[in-house]
């Protein structure tokens, strides 16, 4: 198969040869055809490194914390440094502690959640169902409040929870079992999906999480399982169960007639000593759909309209296909009832294909887009061996975080738009409690969520069941990266309560933090200040970023000249926010609008490649 | 309309970098394969991707005198498009197929000879057939029938298609994330919305350049932050900043005499405001504006999603008709796009624009018991343009009787989607390198949908076969 040439050197050689050969044939050159746009030759060079030169790596602790949390923060680094004698010992202690989230005091985050005044997050499925039926079509805001509050609470936890690894993994599993949160029927029932199906199993057992997500109303609506009955199974859930939740497309063999007799399809002996196929085919999807008929939500259909506990999972024997089924070469005897389904989940959870697919995704999330398969396979083997253990996932995560690839690598991934926002808010010590908004004023929550949506990654907003992409290719698209670069500096300009109203404090007090870091006015030099913020946001002072931002901030002043960050000619009792206008003669740029300029400079740091790398 | 600043474009095109030799912003783009066809045109090819698998049997159902109507009615009850009464299908010239009643815009274009349909079209690769949305979409977009190479088929077309050096904006992927068909292309920009795609959130005092006072604003200084080829990330950042700079002078907002007098005014009364899928209408409007501005657009991808109708697909006799709403968005949007460009001040620009509407696969012939349809195989491809042989339905339909269905369930595929696209590439874009664009494809023959000259199809890499490089 022909493919695009692989290297610049190869293409250049071809071009030279081509020019030489055809120069004699076509002495005149049509300018229109002679060359591509200057600097752009049509196809990207694959030869650029994914990772920067090792000499420009940030310190190990910064790298590890950046990739295992929602972004580096100096507060995390202080805590990390107290954990042991050297980085390796500290990392061991940090991972151990993070894998036991209950032992971590999270009272500050809990207090912020309590202060947000959420009302729907603790409701049972029955209560949420009743609320949805009560509001009907009369009030969209109230109807969708459960998903809106889940979204805000998730952001608060990602920014403020000390249980960062737990939140990172919760986010991973939400992408894995991706449910579009704003489904008109499922959105009002969303909180138990997050609270009961995902979060209890974040570090736990995959098999348990798999069934819990299946039984949750949000997933039932997402993939239509609630309406899959004997005689007319709906294959939507069964297909995504295999393709996205367990075996993965990497183990899909397509449409094969008589798959049980096809020698080209490999098999293995499973945990019960039975022959199982390593790859699934379409027949397996159809049969799995029959296996799960009768798994539904109480009162979600005509047949279940009078059943108890509306909104909760319900197995209805009368709607289950009682016939013989055959999945992945294994027989399901007639009359298996609900055990058909639990047996299917066992088969899929213990399948080596599932282990490889899930382990591969975990490695890509923590390490990079191109992880050696040896590491993926080792993680997969562990996932497979421990499939019945209650801390199966914690063991696999620990294995990946202690791997040589994790500890020595850097920069082969970038922060996605949502992750870059959370990371920026963490690094700059923002004071922001997002809450669902139904007011006429333009609130920072409303603005932030709108801008995240524009950048392509509002939480729980991916419409398809495959979850947000997790590759640098996707998030470095001009559209996503452009809107991310637009969003990040704006975080420093947004105000509490009303995002465009100067009467309220900023979400991030750049000025105040700078003044407290340098209480002596003589220390407030451009060099000191940009150095401080580089350390705080990036964990080191990389070039050219440090120099570019420093030069912008100091303007014509020396890097050692103090800059006035206090005097504000326009505050009028409002929070100081711009500085002094200095564009009239003598037109001293270094004195012009210093307070606003500081925010712009820090915004530039947030727009640097070093901030977006992970 | 606002004046268009050529100098700003050239700035976006890095001409200054060329002037400075291998100067500060020299890039590590790779050199193109050099066999550029002298036949290249400046047409635009727009690929509309209906994501989720559009039900072609509902868009283009068998009509009254169709030999397939009886089988269709047997298979379709809740999703049936009737022939009379409320929601009756629209009859079409020269065919026994009919059109969904909400596709009135497409209907007018077809009757006028500006639209055509290809039935039983789809992917013959890979074998076995896949019914996974995500795999089927990427197979179609990579154009290699399985196993993504990271290079989309449109990228390979652009690389091999004879694009001149002075084209500011050769390709656009309308969305937040680049469509796979344009993956790997340094000629393409990706953007969800023209008016939103600009850097304007730094505090105003230090955002823009202000030469009078010597201010070099933050937006200009972003270039210095991303001025290296250190990694793939920096390269992507430079590409992003170039794209932002290129489009910065354009007002993508809709014209308003009071509030936005420099905004865009569609021609011919074109109405892009869709009742559903509003973003699709805006994106089509942005594309029309860029075509009118002469940015040199050669290839565009636009998505319209929400076609995965497993449950409650609806039918046009009902007041709530999901599929009908979708069809209306598609039809009205494309109709506005056609009207706008066909009545442009500079002439009928649709004569240089072709639109091909594809979906990853069709839906099963027999509807399910949830009033929906499950994943199928063969589907309808819709083609629009001012230089097509429209008003006809192309392709061989294998039939809807159970023994005529693929694997007993689905409409078969008798026309490879690559055949339709290849014809557009040759006859409209003037690029004969279709076997390079679609590796593994062979045996091309035109269906006759597009007007234009035939060229012997080639593989582009042929010339470099053994012995050449060693010389």
Q: Can you tell me whether residue A62 is helix, strand or coil? A: helix
Q: What is the pLDDT of residue A537?
A: 98
Most confident of A524-528, B31-35, B125-129: A524-528
Q: What is the pLDDT of residue A50?
A: 81
Cβ separation B178–A19 shorter than 8 A = no
* A residues 472-501 lying closer than 8 A (beta carbon) to B: 472-483, 485-487, 489-490, 493
Residue B349 CA, chain-centre distance (Å), reads: 17
B194 contacts in chain A (CB < 8 Å):
none
Q: What is the pLDDT of residue B355?
A: 98
A53 contacts in chain B (CB < 8 Å):
230
Question: Where is average pLDDT lowest: A524-528, B4-8, B58-62?
Answer: B4-8
Q: What is the pLDDT of residue A255?
A: 82
Q: What is the pLDDT of residue A43?
A: 61
Q: What is the pLDDT of residue A54?
A: 81
A264 contacts in chain B (CB < 8 Å):
none
What is the C-alpha separation between A315 and A300, in angstroms, rounded?
12
Cβ separation B177–A253 shorter than 8 A = no
Closest chain A residue to B138, measured at CA: A249
Asked if residue A6 has pLDDT above 70, the reply is no
> Going by DSSP bridges, is the β-strand pair B299-304/B353-359 parallel, antiparallel, or unpaired?
unpaired
Cβ separation A477–B435 shorter than 8 A = no
Cβ separation A456–B13 shorter than 8 A = no
What is the C-alpha separation between A164 and A154, in angstroms, rounded?
12
B26 contacts in chain A (CB < 8 Å):
39
Taking only Cα atoms into account, the Rg of chain B, rounded to an integer number of angstroms, comes to 23
Q: What is the pLDDT of residue A454?
A: 87
Cβ separation B27–A40 shorter than 8 A = yes
What is the C-alpha separation between A361 and A172, in angstroms, rounded?
9
The complex's ipTM works out to 0.89
What is the C-alpha separation between A38 and B240, in angstroms, rounded?
16
pLDDT digits (tens, 9 = 90+) for B313-329: 999 999 989 999 999 99
DSSP characters for A130-154? HHHHHHTTS-HHHHTHHHHHHHHHH
What is the C-alpha separation between A46 and A55, in angstroms, rounded?
22
Cβ separation B186–A464 shorter than 8 A = no
Q: Which of A600, A432, A599, A420 is nearest to A511 (CA)?
A: A599
pLDDT digits (tens, 9 = 90+) for A408-463: 999 999 999 999 999 999 999 999 999 998 888 999 999 999 999 888 899 999 88
Percent of chain B with pLDDT over 90: 69
Q: What is the pLDDT of residue B440?
A: 85
Q: What is the pLDDT of residue B146?
A: 62
Q: Is A414 on the interface with B (CB under 8 A)?
A: yes
Asked if residue A567 has pLDDT above 50, the reply is yes
Asked if residue B307 has pLDDT above 70, the reply is yes
A52 contacts in chain B (CB < 8 Å):
230-231
Q: Which of A383, A385, A420 is nearest to A400 (CA)?
A: A383
Residue B415 CA, chain-centre distance (Å), reads: 19
Q: Is A44 on the interface with B (CB under 8 A)?
A: yes
The mean per-residue pLDDT over the stretch A532-559 comes to 96
The number of CA neighbours under 13 Å toward the Cβ of B191 is 31
What is the C-alpha separation between B62 and B353, in angstroms, rounded?
29
Mean pLDDT, all residues of chain A: 91
Q: What is the pLDDT of residue B149?
A: 58
Inter-chain Cβ pairs, chain A and chain B, closer than 8 A:
337
Q: What is the pLDDT of residue A35?
A: 28
Cβ-based neighbour number of residue B77 at 10 Å? 10
pTM of the model: 0.84
Q: Can you tell me whether residue A414 is helix, strand or coil? A: strand
What is the C-alpha separation between A348 and A271, in angstroms, rounded?
11
Q: Which residues pair with A326 in a beta bridge?
A: A331
Q: What is the pLDDT of residue B228?
A: 78
What is the C-alpha separation between A435 and A153, in angstroms, rounded?
8
pLDDT band at residue A292, thresholds of 50, 70 and 90?
very high
pLDDT digits (tens, 9 = 90+) for A490-509: 999 999 999 999 899 999 99
Q: What is the pLDDT of residue B135?
A: 83
């Amino acid at each position: 198969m022909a493919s695009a040439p692989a290297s610049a050197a190869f293409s250049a050689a071809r071009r030279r040869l081509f020019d030489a050969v055809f120069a004699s044939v076509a002495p005149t050159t049509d300018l229109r055809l002679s060359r591509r746009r200057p600097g752009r030759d049509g196809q990207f060079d694959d030869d650029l490194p994914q990772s920067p030169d090792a000499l420009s790596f940030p310190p190990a602790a910064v790298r590890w914390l950046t990739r295992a949390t929602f972004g580096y923060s100096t507060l995390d680094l202080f805590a990390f440094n107290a954990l042991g004698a050297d980085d390796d010992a500290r990392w061991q202690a940090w991972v151990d502690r993070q894998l036991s989230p209950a032992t971590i005091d999270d009272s500050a985050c809990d207090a912020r959640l309590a202060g947000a005044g959420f009302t729907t997050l603790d409701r049972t499925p029955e209560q949420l169902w009743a609320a949805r039926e009560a509001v009907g079509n009369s009030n969209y805001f109230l109807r969708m409040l459960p998903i809106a509050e889940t979204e805000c609470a998730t952001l608060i936890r990602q920014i403020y929870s000390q249980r960062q690894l737990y939140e990172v993994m919760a986010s991973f599993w939400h992408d894995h079992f991706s449910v579009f949160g704003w489904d008109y029927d499922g959105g009002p029932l969303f909180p138990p999906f997050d609270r009961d199906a995902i979060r209890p199993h974040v570090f736990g057992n995959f098999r348990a999480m798999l069934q819990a997500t299946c039984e949750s109303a949000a997933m039932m609506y997402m993939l239509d399982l609630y309406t899959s009955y004997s005689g007319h199974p709906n294959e939507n859930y069964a297909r995504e169960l295999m393709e996205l939740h367990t075996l993965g497309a990497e183990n899909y063999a397509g449409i094969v007639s008589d798959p049980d007799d096809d020698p080209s399809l490999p098999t293995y002996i499973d945990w019960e000593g039975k022959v199982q196929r390593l790859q699934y085919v379409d027949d397996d999807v159809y049969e799995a759909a029959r296996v799960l008929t009768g798994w539904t939500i109480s009162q979600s259909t005509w047949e279940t309209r009078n059943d108890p506990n509306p909104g909760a999972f319900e197995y209805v024997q009368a709607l289950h296909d009682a016939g013989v089924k055959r999945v992945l070469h294994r027989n399901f005897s007639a009359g298996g009832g609900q055990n058909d389904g639990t047996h299917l989940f066992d088969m899929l959870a213990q399948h080596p294909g599932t282990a490889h697919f899930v382990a591969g995704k975990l490695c890509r999330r923590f390490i990079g887009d191109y992880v050696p398969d040896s590491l993926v396979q080792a993680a997969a083997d562990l996932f497979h061996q421990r499939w019945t253990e209650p801390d199966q996932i914690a063991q696999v995560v620990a294995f990946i975080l202690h791997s040589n690839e994790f500890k020595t690598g850097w920069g082969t991934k970038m922060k996605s738009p949502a992750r870059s926002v959370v990371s920026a808010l963490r690094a700059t010590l923002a004071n922001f409690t997002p809450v669902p908004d139904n007011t006429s004023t333009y609130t920072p929550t409303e603005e932030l969520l709108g801008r995240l949506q524009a950048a392509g990654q509002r939480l729980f907003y991916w419409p398809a069941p495959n979850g947000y992409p997790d590759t640098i290719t996707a998030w470095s698209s001009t559209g996503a990266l452009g809107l991310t670069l637009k969003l990040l500096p704006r975080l420093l300009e947004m105000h509490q309560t009303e995002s465009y109203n100067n009467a309220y404090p900023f979400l991030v007090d750049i000025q105040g933090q700078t003044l407290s870091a340098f209480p002596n006015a003589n220390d407030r030099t451009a060099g000191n200040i940009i150095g401080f913020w580089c350390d705080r946001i990036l964990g080191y002072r990389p070039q050219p970023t440090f120099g570019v931002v420093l030069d912008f901030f100091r303007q014509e002043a020396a890097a050692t000249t103090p800059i006035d960050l206090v005097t504000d000619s326009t505050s009028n009792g409002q929070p100081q926010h711009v500085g002094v206008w200095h564009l009239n003669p003598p037109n001293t740029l270094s004195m012009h609008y210093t307070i606003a300029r500081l925010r712009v400079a820090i915004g530039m740091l947030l727009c640097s490649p070093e901030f977006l790398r992970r | 309309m606002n004046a268009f600043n050529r100098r700003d474009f050239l700035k976006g095109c890095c001409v200054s970098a060329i002037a400075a030799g291998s100067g500060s912003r020299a890039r590590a783009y790779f050199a193109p394969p050099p066999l550029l066809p002298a036949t290249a045109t400046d047409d635009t090819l727009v690929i509309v991707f209906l994501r989720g698998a559009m039900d072609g049997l509902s868009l283009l159902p068998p009509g009254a005198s169709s030999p397939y109507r009886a089988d269709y009615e047997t298979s379709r009850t809740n999703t049936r498009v009737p022939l009379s009464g409320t929601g009756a299908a629209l009859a079409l010239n020269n065919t026994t197929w009919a059109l969904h009643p909400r596709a009135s815009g497409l209907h007018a274009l077809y009757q006028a000879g500006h639209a055509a349909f290809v039935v039983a079209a789809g992917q013959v690769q890979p074998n076995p057939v896949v019914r996974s949305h995500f795999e089927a979409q990427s197979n179609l977009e990579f154009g290699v029938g399985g196993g993504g190479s990271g290079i989309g088929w449109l990228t390979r077309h652009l690389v091999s298609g004879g694009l001149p050096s002075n084209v500011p904006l050769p390709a656009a992927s309308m969305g937040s994330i680049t469509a796979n068909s344009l993956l790997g292309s340094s000629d393409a920009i990706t953007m969800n919305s023209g008016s939103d795609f600009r850097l304007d959130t730094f505090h105003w005092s230090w955002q823009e350049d202000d030469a009078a006072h010597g201010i070099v604003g933050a937006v200009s200084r972003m270039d210095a932050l991303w001025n290296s080829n250190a990694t793939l990330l920096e390269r992507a950042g430079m590409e992003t900043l170039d794209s932002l700079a290129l489009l910065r002078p354009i007002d993508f907002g809709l014209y308003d005499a009071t509030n936005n007098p420099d905004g865009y005014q569609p021609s011919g009364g074109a109405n892009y405001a869709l009742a559903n899928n509003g973003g699709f209408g805006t994106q089509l409007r942005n594309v029309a504006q860029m075509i009118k501005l002469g940015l040199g657009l050669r290839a565009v991808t636009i998505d319209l999603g929400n076609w995965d109708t497993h449950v409650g697909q609806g039918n046009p006799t009902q007041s709530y008709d999901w599929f009908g709403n979708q069809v209306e968005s598609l039809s009205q949007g494309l109709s506005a796009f056609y009207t706008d460009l066909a009545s442009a001040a500079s002439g009928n620009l649709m004569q240089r624009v072709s639109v091909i509407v594809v979906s990853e696969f069709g839906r099963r012939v027999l509807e399910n018991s949830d009033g929906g349809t499950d994943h199928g195989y063969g589907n309808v491809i819709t083609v629009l343009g001012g230089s097509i042989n429209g008003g006809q339905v192309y392709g061989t339909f294998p039939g809807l009787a159970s023994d005529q269905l693929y694997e007993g369930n689905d409409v078969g595929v008798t026309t490879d989607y690559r055949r339709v696209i290849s014809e557009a590439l040759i006859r409209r874009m003037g690029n004969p390198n279709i076997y390079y664009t679609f590796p593994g494809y062979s045996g091309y023959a035109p269906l006759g949908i597009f007007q234009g000259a035939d060229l012997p199809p080639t593989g582009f890499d042929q010339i470099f076969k053994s012995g050449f490089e060693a010389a």
